[in-house]
Amino acid sequence: MKLIIHGGFFSESNTNQEVKKAKQDALREIVTLGHKYLESHTAAQTVVYAVHLLEDCDLFNAGTGSQIQSDGKIRLSASLMDGKTQKFSGVINIEDVKNPICIAEKLMEYDDRVLSGLGANSFAANNGFTYYNPEIPQRRKEYEKKLSDSIRLGTVGCVALDIYGDIAAATSTGGKGFEIPGRVSDSATTAGNYANAFAGVSCTGVGEDITSGSVATKIVTRVTDGMPLSVATAKTLDEMKPYDGFAGIIGICSNGDIYHADTHPYMVWALHDGEVEVFE
């Protein structure tokens, strides 16, 4: 029974130790709550629970505190992959909701399991998800001063291995900030969030790079074919070098191996395998 979560790359100034510590403390608390929840819930239920806690924490770029796009609006994307059932569900560019991962979970009950834009919003409203503005003053200030001209890399995710040996992965993002409205990130695709009976992976970084590399899918497929998780990850990230791909991953495989890797430093993540560990 294991759990690993990430809070994206540390996008603020790396000299801001106060923000850095706050993120590490938040990850420590959430991974502890998530592992406790995993004791009595499935992997799929647990990754939704952990990611919704990450979405509720305004330190991270998902749910509350998400980045503002170039037209001044916040649009959220999230997905869930259940390795046991091999079902994937997600929402893309949904607006005015608090927890997009919970809407992705609800879509698991339907044949049409990935919705975008107005369709996703209508589905949320029709299923009792109330209006919520995820904007916080800091993001509005950043938007107004155009501080997001540089790439800001914030996504949250969770991968869990439950007591039944089943694996699930969930990922949520508020985007990179100042993107063209309608841009689709990797977080609501199998390139950025994938799991099966053998392994599960959640990604963060530059969505276009991760999608180009089909990162999560490649890693899980290679593990399925017998490659160790660490080797599968290294090979997949190496394949991003020709275009200087920017990505980080967290993963768990069915034998209990738990792994993290990134192509650039300062990814924040935490794991719980009976003991809590938090990393920059």
* pLDDT at residue 146 in the model: 56
- What is the rounded average pLDDT of the residues 2-28? 82
Percent of the chain at pLDDT exceeding 90: 81
Tokens of 229: 């998780």
Q: What is the mean pLDDT of residues 253-271?
A: 93
Architecture of the domain spanning 2-279: 4-Layer Sandwich (3.60)
Per-residue tokens: 263: 């192509």
Check whether 183 is labelled as a binding-site residue.
yes
Residue 18 is predicted with a pLDDT of 83
Give the least confident one: 191-195, 260-264, 276-280. Answer: 276-280
Q: Residue 238 — pLDDT band, cuts 50, 70, 90?
A: very high
Average the pLDDT over 149-174 and give the result: 87
Consult the annotation and say whether 206 binds a ligand: yes
Supply the residues annotated as catalytic: 155
Whether residue 123 has pLDDT greater than 80: yes
Strand partners, 270: 5, 278
185 is in an annotated binding site: yes
pLDDT digits 0-9 by tens, 217-237? 999 999 999 999 999 999 999
Q: What is the pTM (predicted TM-score) of this model?
A: 0.94
pLDDT band at 183 (very low <50, low <70, confident <90, very high): very high
The reported pLDDT for the residue numbered 265 is: 80
Kindly report the three-state secondary structure assignment for every residue of the chain: CEEEEEEEECCCCCCCHHHHHHHHHHHHHHHHHHHHHHCCCCHHHHHHHHHHHHHHCCCCCCCCCCCCCCCCCCCEEEEEEECCCCEEEEEEEECCCCCHHHHHHHHCCCCCCEEEHHHHHHHHHHCCCCCCCCCCHHHHHHHHHCHHHCCCCCEEEEEEECCCCCEEEEEEECCCCCCCCCCCCHHHCCCCEEECCCEEEEEEECHHHHHHHCHHHHHHHHHHCCCCHHHHHHHHHHCCHHHCCCEEEEEEECCCCEEEEECCCCEEEEEECCCEEEEC
Flag whether 159 is marked binding: no
pLDDT tens-place string over residues 49-72:
999 999 999 999 999 999 999 899
Question: Residue 215 annotated as binding?
Answer: no
Any idea where the domains of the chain sit in the sequence?
Answer: 2-279
Evaluate whether 101 touches 89 at the Cβ level (below 8 Å). no
In the chain, what is the greatest distance between 2 CA atoms, to the nearest angstrom?
A: 50
Query: Is 174 one of the annotated binding-site residues?
Result: no
186 is in an annotated binding site: yes
